[in-house]
Structure 1
Amino acid sequence: MKVGFIGLGTMGGNAAKNILRAGFPTVVHDLRPEAAADHFALGATWADSPKAVIDQVDCVVSMVFGPPQCEAVLKGPMGLIHGDCAGKIWIDMTTSSPKFMRELVKDFVAKGGRPVDAPVTGSVDAAIRGDMPMFVGGEDADIESVRPVIEAMGQLRKVGPHGNGYVAKLVNNQLWKVHAAAIGEAMVCAKLAGLDPAIWWEVMKGGAADSFVLSHDVPSIFAGHYDPSFPIKLCLKDLSLIKELMDDTGVRSEMTDATHARFREAGARYGMEAGEMTVCKLVEEDAGVELRVPGDWVAPWDVSRD
């Protein structure tokens, strides 16, 4: 199977490398040609547009910023829809709007294309290792036909028909962001009440308060970099999509709304490129404390594939 990959950012770039390492002939495209340098070293070839990608491959994977970028990939002047879509699978890994994407793919389906959504969770270290949990929606036969490609990048978790992958990703990120915002308040409160941050972290893990965010992301607070591999601008994009989904379903969203406000505050204070966990730095600064803990805290982007 020949694979195309569109979008070589922090997560997508590493996912594409794992497809290449799995032995799939791979054609890549990105708005920044220089992003493909490492992929060329692994044997990738280049295409100048999404259309040029799909014309050469059996399956195309995309991972871009959000809904407008997905629309450009599919329906732009040189988008997928202008190429040979018949029988081709489009695996989109973008965090996007389920309502929007279910409508967007209709033209792709009309041309014989077979859409699969597979947004991912985890962090850049999971993308490097190739073990990202992936929320995969689509026709079962379509998913199974590209299972080896998906499993080269991560763990396949079926969630039902096309569009459900985006739903799963958004509610996943909803819980992630709410917990990230709450962690700052809990850590600072514990320190001011006399509990050392390192001890707090150790005793919280494995109990009722534990989560991926607590186990994985607190070291970025201890190290003081707050994980810039996932910047505030992406958090705010996701939270806007989550708010849209909550409004569409009519569900109460006071906790999510408060979290959204806290992330907007972090973006205003530290800039949109600041790391996601600066949402906790706000609480540190306002309380006049620091949560640094000496130690060899390995940054997510520095992990080994082994």
Structure 2
Amino acid sequence: MKIGFIGLGMMGRGIAQNLLRTGQSIIVHDRMERATAPFADQGAAVAASARELAAAADLVFTSLPTPADVLAVFEGENGLAAGLRPGTAWFDLTTNSVDVVRQIEAQLAKAGVDFLDAPVSGGPAGAASGKLAIWIGGNAAAYDRFRPVLDSIADQVQHVGPIGAGTITKLAHNMASAAIKSVIAEVITMGVKAGADPLALWGAMRTGAAGRMRGFDNVQRFLAGTTETSSFALRLMQKDINLALQLGRELDVPMRLCAAVGQDVHEAMSRGWGGHDSQSVLVLQQQRAGIDPIAIPDADVRRVIALG
């Protein structure tokens, strides 16, 4: 099997190197000639265009900066669309847009080509080491067919649904990551201005209930739809939030994100949820979005957590 790889930047070069290390036969392309030179030195073929690469490959990977870059590689007389053959597959590792991946998939499906969105998480170090997550949306049969190749470049490979599901997962993950870090910046700033040593404060926070738990795990009751049963009541969380916000005001520390959380808690309390679990405040967001209540069986939630 011949594997084509386009985009040998900070992420792509590590992934492509891992393909080479496992003995795969690869052909590479990048708009920067200096990016392909190390691969040519190791025996990889170099394509002059995306079209040339597609015509020679059974499986194509792209790892590019933006949706516009993906479309530029896809379209035109020298693009992937002009060279991909029926029966081949293209996994796009780019953090793309949902509209773009669905547009490409619909067009290629007519030509008998499988396109799957497959964004990655792990950074350049993870790309180089293989400690990488890949979240894949698209044809499940194509995913199964090329699963051994995917396992050679990542240790956490998951098919998460139809086309677009991988991209949705990546965008949700990165948005949550950015928001969590911003909130932590607010509270550490508050703590330091109040007189705490930053290292001692951060180290102590990591040993608390939230600090010991993986950041995405502390929503189990919300996902199971069981927030009316309490392990830590909303009214108690509101007391703690109010005390923290009061300290921030006294110290003249801006805490915009934390204040927004406080407003949500106040709204939930006004609905009579004070005796519900602290996670009940999360229910407000799905109500605002007009979606049905999430109610995943508790056993399924625990199964996912057990996977690590």
Q: What TM-score range do you get, normalising by the shorter chain?
A: 0.5 to 0.7
Number of the residue aligned with 1:113 = 113
TM-score by length of structure 2 reads: 0.65
TM-score by length of structure 1 reads: 0.66
User: In the alignment, does 2:174 pair up with 1:173?
Assistant: yes
Number of the residue aligned with 2:244 = none
Q: Where in structure 2 are there 5+ consecutive unaligned residues?
A: 216-255, 261-308
Cα distance in 2, alignment partners of residues 72 and 107 from structure 1: 15
Judge which range, 192-201 or 146-155, deviates more: 192-201
Number of the residue aligned with 1:65 = 65
Cα distance in 2, alignment partners of residues 130 and 137 from structure 1: 20
Number of the residue aligned with 1:43 = 43
**How far apart are 1:208 and its partner, in Å?**
4.4
**How far apart are 1:212 and its partner, in Å?**
10
Number of the residue aligned with 1:205 = 206
Q: Deviations over 1:161-211 (max 9, x none)?
A: 121101111111110111222232222222222322222332233544449
Number of the residue aligned with 1:290 = none
Cα distance in 2, alignment partners of residues 80 and 24 from structure 1: 21
Number of the residue aligned with 2:30 = 30
Relative to structure 1, the CA distance from residue 197 to residue 41 in structure 2 (aligned partners, 3 Å threshold; closer, same or farther) is farther
Relative to structure 1, the CA distance from residue 207 to residue 62 in structure 2 (aligned partners, 3 Å threshold; closer, same or farther) is farther
Number of the residue aligned with 1:271 = none
Number of the residue aligned with 1:97 = 97
User: Identity over the aligned pairs, expressed in percent?
Assistant: 35
Number of the residue aligned with 1:82 = 82
SS of residue in 2 equivalent to 1:105: helix
Cα distance in 2, alignment partners of residues 64 and 118 from structure 1: 12
Q: Deviations over 1:240-289 (max 9, x none)?
A: xxxxxxxxxxxxxx96xx9xxxxxxxxxxxxxxxxxxxxxxxxxxxxxxx
SS of residue in 1 equivalent to 2:56: coil
Cα distance in 2, alignment partners of residues 5 and 117 from structure 1: 15
Q: Where in structure 1 are there 5+ consecutive unaligned residues?
A: 215-253, 259-306
Cα distance in 2, alignment partners of residues 79 and 131 from structure 1: 31
Number of the residue aligned with 1:5 = 5
1:18–1:130 contact (8 Å) kept in structure 2: yes
Aligned pairs, how many?
217
1:74–1:80 contact (8 Å) kept in structure 2: yes
Number of the residue aligned with 2:150 = 150
2:61–2:93 contact (8 Å) kept in structure 1: yes
Cα distance in 2, alignment partners of residues 153 and 57 from structure 1: 18
Number of the residue aligned with 1:124 = 124
SS of residue in 1 equivalent to 2:136: strand
**Cα RMSD (Å):** 2.3
SS of residue in 1 equivalent to 2:201: helix
Q: Deviations over 1:9-67 (max 9, x none)?
A: 11111111111111111111111111123323433221111111111111000011121
Cα distance in 2, alignment partners of residues 91 and 194 from structure 1: 51
1:179–1:213 contact (8 Å) kept in structure 2: no
